[in-house]
Each structure stands twice: as C-alpha cells, then as structure tokens.
Amino acid sequence: MSSRLLFRFTANHRQSFGLLKNVQLAFKRSSAITTPIKKPLPPLSEGAKQRIGLWLAWSAGMTAGAVVIGGMTRLTQSGLSMTNWHWLNDMNPPRTTEAWQEEFERYKRFPEYEQMNREMTLDEFKKIYYMEFAHRMWGRATGLIFTLPAFIFWRRGLFDKGMKIRVLIFGGLIGIQGALGWYMVKSGLHKETLIDGRASVSPYRLAAHLGTAFILYSGLLWNSFKYLTKPDVYASTRIPRGWAMGVHGLLTLTLITVIAGAFVAGLDAGLCYPTFPKMGDYWIPPEYSTLTPWYRNLFENPAAVQFNHRVLGLTTTAAILTYSLASLSVKFGRRAATARNLLAAMVILQTSLGIGTLLYHVPISMAAAHQTGSLALLSFALWLGFNLKRVPKI
C-alpha cells in the first residue's frame, strides 16, 4: 500500500515539474519575440567619417574665429557698444541716420561713454558698433553651422551613443557661450557691477566666457581628429606611458595660462608694467598684495594679475621646451614627433609675442596675434596628445 502511494506521489510531481518547465519555456519564447535585440551600429563609411570630421573641424574653426574676433572687440573697446540683447533684433543694425542717432543716444546713457568717450562722434560709434555686431553674428553663425549638420547626422543614425552625448555637450556649451557673452556685457553696463567703478566688463565673466570657448574648441578639434585621422604605422615604435601622460600636464598649464591672460585683458593689466624681464625695478611688483582679502589680488589687482600671467607663461614655455628636448631620443612616430616640434616652435613664438605686447604698450595687432597664438599652441598640444594616445605603450 505504501509503495503504491509513493509511486502516485512521484508521478504527480513529475507531471507538475513538466508543466512548470513548459510554462518557463513558453515565457522565454514570448520574451524573445517581444523584446527587440539591439544590433550594433554598422561601421561608418569613409565618406561619412570625412563628412562628420570636416563638420567638427569647421565648427572648431568657427569657434576659434569667435575667439579672435572677440579679442579684437575687446582690444578696440567695442564690446559695450550694443547695449541690449535680442535674438532677432540684433541681426538688423540701424539703417537710417535717425536709427543710428537713437542707438548712439542709448549708448550715451551708460558708464563707458560717460567715463571715456564723451568726445566720440557718430561715425566713431558706428565703427565700434559694427565690431561688436560682427562678433555677435559670428557667434550665431557658429551655432547654426554646428546645429544643422548635427541634426542631419543624428537623424541618419551616424552617431553612436558616446558621440550623441558629446554632441549634446557641445551644443550646450555653444548656448552657454551666448549666455555668458551677454552676462559679461551686462557687467559693463551697470554701475553696481563695475569693479572699482571702471567702465569695463567683469574680468571674472570675461575669463569664464573665454575659458568656455577654449574648452569647446578643444572638444570639437579633438573629436575631429578621431574622424579625419587615418591609422598610422608604428612598426616597432613603443613609448613609456609617462610621455603620453605628460602632454596632459602641458595642456593643463596652457589652459591655466590662457585663463590668467583673460584677467590681464579684463583689467588692462598689460599697461601697468611695460618692461621685461623685471616689472619696473622689481622682480615682484611692490603692490602685489595691496587688496584685502588677499585672494582678490589674484583676480583684481592689475600688477599681481600681470605678474601671475608672466610666471605662468614662462613656466609653460619652460615645461614645453623641456618636454620637447627630453623626448628627442624617444621614438614618438612621425606624426607625434612633428606635433612635438611644432609645439616647441609655437611656444617660442607665443612667448615672444607676449613680451613684445608688453614692451610696445599693447598694440592691437600684436596683442591680437598673441591671443591667436594661444589657440595655435593649444591646437598643437592637442594634436600631440591625440597621436601619442595611439602609439603603443610599454
């Protein structure tokens, strides 16, 4: 009797287990049908890579142009000529004598005219207005040149997940640039935001505006390398990993020096000590620590700001030249070696332009060349870093 009960119990449980397995199998099949399998994107064609790379490089070039025009706007004291901001209205400058006179009268109500330009004529005002107008229109053209192709490439499925994230970041930075530009201009239009009552934009906002532009430019240029650069043949080339890491230090020094230069521009600090290597009769200016609290000297004291930029510039020059000379015996590969040599030559030229700008009391042409040189220096450092990243390491 007990053996029969045991047999029936086992048979019933076998049927239950079999039914459970059938249910699980049916569930798996239904899941496989309803859940789509994500297929990886097909590799891009060479033509698609070229188009994306050229678009990124063109966007980087437009960003560089905005930096150069912005520098000229600053050097010619044109940045505060347009006293309002409208997305559409700004694109139509005054066309009649009456409209120009109305715009000029609006400009007269702000600190720059009251403190510096009381003798300005309408024709002189038109010159600075058109300079700022060109800067704003260039910035908007940069946004369009980036956004429209990005939309097309995205719709065609040419971006992977990583590139989609980067495109959104670049687009966000372009928008932030426009907002920072107007935020910077506003600081020079209202007396309560002026530093020491001077008719000038806030050096903090100027540094943020310029620094964001350099970060955007670096990101666009680096990613253009990815699409435009074909694999190099390194044969037996192997380099210690430290050489590739060292370029990050050079890039960091370069960017910090650029930001320090923005404070020099914001405070017109290049005019206070037009001598080199000493600042007047001193190695360290005696008024270095006149402001309180002490940290304000780093950003608001013209003598201290110029001294800091000098030290950072010379430190960057020494670091790049030391790196270049020490790496001559290392087989970098053809592209990386060329980038290293161009970087070394550019830092010598850039330092010479900086010294000349000081000694000749900040002439516009030389000062603009110095700011443009910072873009070239950063570009060669990025090119070097990109190529060293691809060289096999030991």
The model's confidence at residue 4, banded by pLDDT at 50, 70 and 90, is: low
pLDDT at 390: 80
Across-strand partners of 232? none
* Whether residue 265 is found in the same domain as residue 287: yes
Instruction: Evaluate whether residue 28 is within a structural domain.
Output: no
Say yes or no: 259 and 363 in one domain.
yes
Question: For position 234, what pLDDT does the model report?
Answer: 57
Q: pLDDT tens across 85-133, in order?
A: 877 667 788 999 999 999 999 999 998 998 888 999 999 999 999 999 9
Q: Band the pLDDT of 151: cuts 50, 70, 90.
A: very high
Closest listed residue to residue 252, CA positions, set 324, 332, 297, 319 = 319
**137 and 75 within one domain:** yes
Give the per-residue pLDDT at 237: 65
- Same domain flag for 349 and 387: yes
How many Cα atoms within 13 Å fall on the side-chain side of residue 291?
15
pLDDT per residue as tens digits for the range 171-207: 999 999 999 999 999 988 887 777 766 778 899 999 9
**What pLDDT is attached to residue 24?**
52
**Which DSSP symbol is given to 90?**
G
Taking only the tens place, the pLDDT of each residue in 10-25 is 455 445 445 445 545 5
Between CA 41 and CA 38 the distance in angstroms is 9
Is residue 201 within 8 A of residue 185, CB to CB? The reply is: yes
Q: Are residues 168 and 291 in the same domain?
A: no
Tokens of 312: 């950072």
Does residue 304 belong to any structural domain of this protein? yes
- Which residues contact residue 383 at a Cβ distance below 8 angstroms, ignoring those fewer than 6 apart? 225, 335, 339, 342
Claim to verify: residue 185 and residue 211 sit in the same structural domain: yes
Domain carrying residue 135: 44-228
Q: How remote is the C-alpha of 46 from its chain's centroid? A: 28
* Percentage of residues in the chain having pLDDT higher than 70: 86
Do 279 and 203 lie in one domain? The reply is no
pLDDT at 238: 74
Pick from 196, 228, 260: which residue ends a domain?
228
Do residue 194 and residue 294 come from a single domain? no
Average pLDDT for the chain: 87
Decide if pLDDT at 28 tops 70.
no
| pLDDT score recorded for residue 198 | 74
SS3 394: coil
**Is 53 part of a structural domain of the chain?**
yes
Q: How confident is the model at residue 279 (pLDDT cuts 50, 70, 90)?
A: very high
Residues in contact with 362: Cβ distance below 8 Å, sequence separation at least 6, in sequence order:
75, 268, 270, 271
At 69-82, the pLDDT tens digits run 999 999 999 999 99
d(CA 213, CA 71): 12
Are 271 and 364 in contact by the 8 Å Cβ rule? The answer is no
**Same domain for 208 and 76:** yes
What is the per-residue pLDDT for 97? 93
Chain-centroid distance, C-alpha 254: 12
Three-point CA angle 363, 368, 374, nearest 5°: 130
Backbone conformation region of residue 105, classed left if phi is above 0, alpha if psi is from -120 to 50, else beta = alpha
> What CA–CA distance (Å, rounded) separates 176 from 361?
33
Q: Kindly report the pTM of this predicted structure.
A: 0.87
Boundary of a domain, candidates 228, 246, 271: 228
What sign has the CA pseudo-torsion 25, 27, 33, 38? negative
pLDDT over 90 percentage in the chain: 69
Q: Where does the pLDDT of residue 236 fall: very low under 50, low under 70, confident under 90, or very high at 90 and above?
A: low
Asked if residues 270 and 264 have their Cβ atoms less than 8 Å apart, the reply is yes
Residue 2, CB-side half-sphere exposure with 13 Å CA sphere: 0
Q: Is the domain of 137 the same as that of 163?
A: yes
pLDDT recorded at residue 8: 53
Co-location of 112 and 171 in the same domain: yes
CB 149 within 8 A of CB 58: no
How many distinct structural domains can be found in the chain?
Answer: 2
Is the model's pLDDT at 213 over the cut of 90? yes
32 located within any domain: no
Phi and psi, residue 25, nearest 5°: -65, -40
Spatial distance between the Cα atoms of 51 and 223, rounded to a whole number of angstroms: 13
Q: Determine the Cα–Cα distance for residues 58 and 146; give it in Å rounded to an integer.
A: 8
Give the Cβ contact number of residue 245 at 10 Å: 12
Last residue of a domain, one of 201, 228, 255: 228
Same-domain check for residues 264 and 165:
no
Residue 199 confidence (pLDDT): 77
